[in-house]
Amino acid sequence: MKKNSIWKDLRKKYPLLLLALPGIILIFLFNYLPLSGLVIAFKNVDYSVGIFKSDWVGFKNFEFFIKSNDAFRITKNTLVLNALFIVFSTVVSVTVAIMLYYVGKNMLKLTQTVLFLPYLISWVVASYALEAFIDPRNGVINHFLTSIGGSNINFYYEPKYWYVILVICNVWKVAGYNSILYYTRLLSIDPTLFEAAEIDGANTWQKIRYITLYMLRPMIVMLVLLSIGNIFYSDFGMYFFLTKDNGMLYPVTDVIDTYIFRALKTINNPGMGAAVGLFQSVMGFILVMTANKLSRKIDEEGSIF
Amino acid sequence: MSAKTRKMILYLILGIITVLWLIPILFIFVMSVTSSDSIASVGYSLFPKEITLEAYTYLIKNPAQILDSYKISIIVTLIGTVAGLMITTGLAYAMSRKDFLASKTLNRYVTFALLFHGGLIPTYIVVTQWLHLGNTLWVLILTMLVSPWNVFLMRSFISGIPMELLEAAFIDGATEFQTYFKIVLPLAKAGLASVGLLIMFGYWNDWYQGMLYIDDMKLTPLPLLLYKIISNIQYVMQNSQYMNTANNFPTIGARMATCVISIAPMLVAFPFFQKYLAKGLTLGSVKG
């Protein structure tokens, strides 16, 4: 009975299906079809016979990955760097949003535009800008160091600086538009709340803490949970271009996504790469589901999807 | 501390932040007009000793590869944005119609695609081995045409349109298509603008699809060209169009100038569509 009515409804509203059809097909081709390609995680890929006829190797690809030193390194880098990004970009963007809110409309337009710019610029271009600062010979930092009699630092050979460099670049790129998100949220605060607080004798810090931050809390929680849900994924371009894919820096800058890319393009081991990718997808899926459940618990309206 | 001084301090801090954010972008512009001599003597600086338009003259004199790449980027961005927006909106509309019984299934279909990815390598194999799209213009357009994320963003815009309006149209005898084109699309203008911009940026800045699937220099989009230049300056030297001038080729300046001509269209257009983008991001973050 119920099934019948679905078909009847479909026939009656077939134009809706027609509108949706191109999208359905594309999502099938580029999102669902690759799932069947996941079998290569369990195969020794031989392109000459095609992936379905390649030999099954069971969990060999996973074993190979887990036993290599790489597994720990790339997982650690991915998680640690993403955690640092979440903390720093949240703190900076919330702070900027609150400042914008208190300053009022005067500087808003200019600041917003400028903070937004990095969002429009690809990591390729950003890597050129970074070079201006850290280039071993002509970079601003090294020029300054030599001018005060210090010695040059070749940043592209020194892993120890890169956590800091990457965090700064990430904040520069994403904090701007995050702060605009938070700022827009703040605009919805009822101004009478502040008036009431003032009458009750609250000072500025108390107002920020008990009104502004309180209003932002659901959104902070949601965006942070969303980022935690994506913590196994990295912005590939950032690592690839800023570091110039430099092997000397892998101990701190190699992440799961760059590793999979190399498995495909450089070391040509697609089976192992797909195994790592499957590990990433499964972990990511579990985390997103957990994050969504948590955010629904914290705030009925705040579920991510 | 009086309220006034407090405000002054805030202005100051925000001013400093704004300048800090701007400096890296300024560097690209300034370095594109810095002479090689100036770089040799004072390094990269926002205040170069000598300003020259040499780099731009080179680009104008030897434009073959850059024009090719510009052309590819423009074609891909135009087709991708228009087609992507149409397809995304169609799907989003069908998903938003609660009276359409299949909409639940559609929502689940797109949600799963958003949450679980096959990953880079299976996708690569599908695209190159099964669909045979490697080294074609199509691969640059098709792979990015519909993103589940944008579909949800679009759906949240369309859901804001009151159902009563549609019902009124149906009572007046409008067909599904008429309702969609004459009522839904005009009312979803803000959504179309925001999502369209996101799609457009995605295409204009994309180097990833090119890096994965394109070897042919004739099909290299602009951002990928930038990467190829940085990854191998030799490449520029070997490229025949630069050969005659390879001796005193202003490498850094030319690289930066290429950056400038790649980001300039976006920077120029940005102030006009800024408000749509901000709106899109806000909606998108509140409910995916």
Tokens of B111: 């949600």
pLDDT at residue A2 is higher than 50: yes
Q: Which positions 196-215 of A are in contact with B (Cβ < 8 Å)?
A: 204
Is B113 part of the contact surface with chain A (CB cutoff 8 Å)?
yes
Is residue A67 over pLDDT 90? no
The alpha-carbon gap from B187 to the nearest alpha carbon of chain A, in Å, equals 17
Q: Do A281 and B119 touch (CB under 8 A)?
A: yes
Residues of chain A contacting residue B207, judged by C-beta atoms under 8 Å apart: 122, 124, 237
pLDDT number for residue A294: 82
Which of chain A's residues have a Cβ under 8 Å away from the Cβ of B120?
257, 260-261, 264, 273, 277
Across chain A, mean pLDDT equals 87
Is residue A300 predicted with pLDDT exceeding 70? no
B34 pairs with which residues across the strands?
A: B51
Tell me the DSSP string of chain B: --HHHHHHHHHHHHHHHHHHHHHHHHHHHHHHTB-HHHHHHH-S-SS-S-B--HHHHHHHHS-HHHHHHHHHHHHHHHHHHHHHHHHHHHHHHHHH-TTSTTHHHHHHHHHHHHH----HHHHHHIIIIIS--TTSHHHHHHTTS--HHHHHHHHHHHTTS-HHHHHHHHHTT--HHHHIIIIIHHHTHHHHHHHHHHHHHHHHT--HHHHHH---GGG--HHHHHHHHHH-HHHHHHSHHHHTTGGG--HHHHHHHHHHHHHHHHHHHHHHHHHHHHHHHHHHHH--
Distance, CA of A304 to CA of A293 (rounded, Å): 9
Q: Which residue from B minimizes the CA distance to A227?
A: B285
| pLDDT number for residue B209 | 94
Distance from CA of B240 to the nearest CA of A (A): 24
Interface test with A, best of B32, B41, B123, B125 (most A CBs within 10 A): B125
Backbone phi, then psi, for B51, in 5-degree steps?
-105, 140
Angstrom CA distances, B28 to A45, B45, B189, stand at 44, 10, 35
Half-sphere exposure of A281 (CA within 13 A, CB side): 23
- Percentage of chain A exceeding pLDDT 90: 37
Q: How far apart are CA B145 and CA B165, in angstroms?
A: 30
Chain A interface includes B173 (CB < 8 A)? no
DSSP helix, strand, coil percent of chain A (3-state; round to 5): 80, 0, 20
Residue reference for tokens 């925000």: B14
CA distances B181 to A124, A302, B89, B90, B175, Å, are 39, 32, 11, 10, 10
The partner residue sitting opposite A22, judged by closest CB among B87, B175, B230, is: B87
Number of residues that this document lists for chain B:
288
- Closest by CA to A194, choosing from A101, A94, A95, is A101
Instruction: Tell me the two tokens of residue A275.
Output: 């195994």
CA dist A35 and B60 (Å) reads 46
For B170, the token pair is: 């149906």
Q: How far apart are CA A118 and CA A169, in angstroms?
A: 10
**Domain residue ranges in chain A:** 1-32, 60-302
pLDDT at A225 over 80: yes
CB contact under 8 A, B22 and A120: no
Q: What is the DSSP string of A133-193?
A: HH-TTT-HHHHHHHHTT-----GGG-GGGHHHHHHHHHHHHHHHHHHHHHHHHHTTS-HHH
Q: How far apart are the first and last CA of chain B?
A: 43
* pLDDT, greater one: A295 or A250: A250
CA A15, A21, A24, A28 torsion-angle sign = positive
Chain A residue at shortest CA distance from B101? A6
- pLDDT by residue, tens only, chain B of 288 residues: 677 888 888 889 999 999 999 999 999 999 989 888 888 888 888 888 888 888 888 877 777 888 889 999 999 999 999 999 999 999 999 999 988 989 999 999 999 998 888 889 999 999 998 899 999 999 999 999 999 989 998 998 898 888 889 999 999 999 999 999 999 999 988 889 888 988 998 999 999 999 999 988 889 999 998 888 766 654 554 554 554 444 445 467 888 888 898 888 888 888 777 777 666 666 555 443
Q: How many CB contacts within 8 angstroms connect chain A with chain B?
A: 279
Q: Does residue A134 register a pLDDT over 50?
A: yes
Least confident of A79-83, A238-242, B20-24, B275-279: B275-279
- What does the alpha-carbon distance between residue B207 and residue A237 come to, in Å, rounded to a whole number? 9
Overall CATH class of domain A60-302: mainly alpha
3-state secondary structure at position A44: strand
* Predicted confidence band of residue A79 (pLDDT cuts 50, 70, 90): very high
| ipTM score assigned to the predicted complex | 0.85
Chain B's closest residue to A174, CA to CA, is B21
Give the minimum alpha-carbon distance from B263 to chain A in angstroms, rounded to a whole number. 7
pLDDT at A147: 86
What pLDDT is stored for residue A210 in this prediction? Answer: 85
Task: Give me the residues paired with residue A55 across strands.
Answer: A44
Interface contact B281-A121, CB threshold 8 A: no
Q: Which residues in chain A touch residue B90, judged by CB atoms under 8 angstroms apart?
A: 19-23
User: Phi and psi dihedrals of B49, rounded to 5?
Assistant: -70, -35
Determine, for residues B11 and A103 on separate chains, whether the beta-carbon distance falls below 8 Å: yes
What DSSP assignment string belongs to A46-115?
-TTT-TTTSEE-TTHHHHHHHHSTHHHHHHHHHHHHHHHHHHHHHHHHHHHHHHHHHH-STTHHHHHHHH
A140 touching B, CB under 8 A? Answer: yes
Name the pLDDT band for A254 (thresholds 50, 70, 90): very high
φ/ψ of residue A302, rounded to 5? -90, 10
| Residues sharing a CB contact under 8 Å with residue A146, sequence separation 6 or more, in sequence order | A152
> A43 phi and psi, to 5 degrees?
-130, 160
Which of A19, A111, A127 shows the shortest C-beta gap to B230?
Answer: A127
Which token pair is B121? 């390598």
Residue A186 confidence (pLDDT): 86
pLDDT at position B251, please? Answer: 67
Q: Which residue in B18, B101, B110 is closest to A111 by CB distance?
A: B18
Instruction: At B120, list the tokens.
Output: 């880079």
Domains of chain B, each with CATH number or no CATH: 1-52 (no CATH), 53-286 (1.10.3720.10)
